Structure 1
Amino acid sequence: MESFREDFDIRSGEILAYLDLLRFIEHAGSELVSTEDPKNKFNITSESRKTLKGAVYILLYNLIESTMREAICFIHDSLHDKNVQFDNLKKNLRIEIVKRLKSDSVGVENFINGLTKGISCGISYGSFNKKKLFSGNIDRDEIKEKATIYGFSTSSDYIHTKHGEKLSTIKQHRNDLAHGNVSFSEIGKNVSYQDLENVSLEVIAYLDAIATNIEDYIHSDGYLTS
């Protein structure tokens, strides 16, 4: 879990550093001057400000998907390390594992390679393909769906997280940008720096709460059938 937390902190730090840059540019004049050569100046246009704002949604979506993907990977790594047998898992998780076996997301060779501890202990690990887990469409509903399957909590402090309600907007903006439906400046033109900071802090707090819930879930063996 240390590497998972480390990755989360790094990506969160990238967003906060980018927001610091946006705040500086927001209050800067119409140009930036090089400290090495005062004659070397860069014009800050309204379009460039909008474009920089629009890029925040890509950074946020990157944080959301990477955090949740690595969190689910951590669950499967823990099940494998603890030699948890298939029959002892919660029913919803057993159903999900069987569904994955029937889909095209898991190759036969990869599945067999994951059975180093026998089929009963290795089936959850061998049937898991993290590259097929979200595929660019993760939002709060998707996280709740995974929570129902695995059995971890999605509770959080609403004051700081708004229970992840902005994740669907971030997903939509990310998809529109990724598919070229809109430009970065179009996304950024109607949002203020303060709005972006508020959304970013809410998302970081929400993901941190989910990560803590998953840690508690692992430590309490929450994946076991009652």
Structure 2
Amino acid sequence: MDTTQFEDRVVEIESYIDLLKVVESAAQSGPPEIGNSAITTCQQRMLYSSVYLHLYNLVEATATWCTSAVTEATAAGQAWKLEQLDSAVRREWLRTNLRTHTQLNPSNRLSTSFVVCESILNGAPIEEWGIERGGGGNWDDGAIENISERVGCVLKIATATKSAAKRPFRDDKNAFQYVKELRNKLAHGSISFEQSGENVTVQDLVDLKNRTVNYLREVLQSFENYVASHMYLESGARHSLAGSP
């Protein structure tokens, strides 16, 4: 499981925050300037608000990378069959392919079920598929923990990291909940970019970034270990893969 994309996006966020530090520092001695043009308070707040979008982008991307790593592993090279998958992953495969959470008319429901039954009866190998993750805009630490549990991946998060992520950041919401709320308010137009950047300092944003990034990094590490240990397979298939008697 390649975590390069994650670290690249963290660098993007940190580079952006470095820019905000320069702007905030310059503002201590008067309106900061770019060339001969002053940066207004409104513009400075708008710059701050973009951090919420950067962080939410990283949260949802992490969920995508983790679930994709699981499904890609089940369909990669070994021609695994449904009965060889771990029961949690098998359940997700059925959920996706039977479209259990999609409204279908009786005819389409029958057709979908028939195709799945044929695949199982013929012992067809698992082909490319995707886990149904739900609609966008709803990702926070709780949603990540839920999808991890659904595929049977035990998240191993250090106590300090988990405590920081869960501790209220603002308005009785933890870091993930606050990022999600601000992102959704901006996306749906219920708040302006200037408003979302009010009453916040760059140090606040650094704290928010650290709480979010540190937790996500350990989520990725948990999924990386899960895939490397072939925990998406049932025990017999894992032993066979490892060459155990």
For the aligned pair, the TM-score class normalised by the smaller chain equals 0.7 to 0.9
The residue aligned with 1:177 is 186
| Aligned AA (2:98) | K
Verify the 8 A CA contact 2:141 2:177 in the aligned structure 1. Answer: yes
**Cα RMSD, aligned residues only:** 2.5
Deviation of residue 134 (structure 1)?
A: 4.7
The residue aligned with 1:222 is 231
Distance 2:66 2:153 in 1: 11
Verify the 8 A CA contact 1:161 1:203 in the aligned structure 2. Answer: no
SS at match of 2:69: helix
Verify the 8 A CA contact 1:155 1:163 in the aligned structure 2. Answer: no
1:65-94 Cα offsets, whole Å, 9 max, x none, are 112202211111111113332112232322
SS at match of 1:121: coil
Are 1:58 and 2:56 an aligned pair? Answer: no
Q: 2:84 aligns with which of 79, 82, 88?
A: 88
SS at match of 2:33: strand
Deviation of residue 160 (structure 1)?
A: 3.7
SS at match of 1:136: coil
Are 1:97 and 2:93 an aligned pair? Answer: yes
The residue aligned with 1:37 is none
The residue aligned with 1:27 is 25
Deviation of residue 175 (structure 1)?
A: 0.7
Of stretches 67-76 and 81-90 in structure 1, the one that deviates more from structure 2 is: 81-90
Q: TM-score scaled by structure 1?
A: 0.82
Structure 1: gaps (5+ residues)? 35-40
Of stretches 179-188 and 94-103 in structure 1, the one that deviates more from structure 2 is: 94-103
| Aligned AA (1:64) | V
Distance 1:173 1:167 in 2: 10
Q: TM-score scaled by structure 2?
A: 0.76
Deviation of residue 183 (structure 1)?
A: 0.7
Distance 1:219 1:78 in 2: 9
For the structure 1 residues 42 and 74, does the alpha-carbon distance in structure 2 shift closer, same or farther, using more than 3 Å as the test? same
- Indicate the structure (1 or 2) with the bigger Cα radius of gyration: 2
For the structure 1 residues 192 and 210, does the alpha-carbon distance in structure 2 shift closer, same or farther, using more than 3 Å as the test? same
| Aligned AA (1:8) | F
The residue aligned with 1:18 is 16
The residue aligned with 1:143 is 144
1:130-165 Cα offsets, whole Å, 9 max, x none, are 7x6552211111111111111112221232453643
Distance 2:163 2:79 in 1: 37
Distance 2:135 2:154 in 1: 19
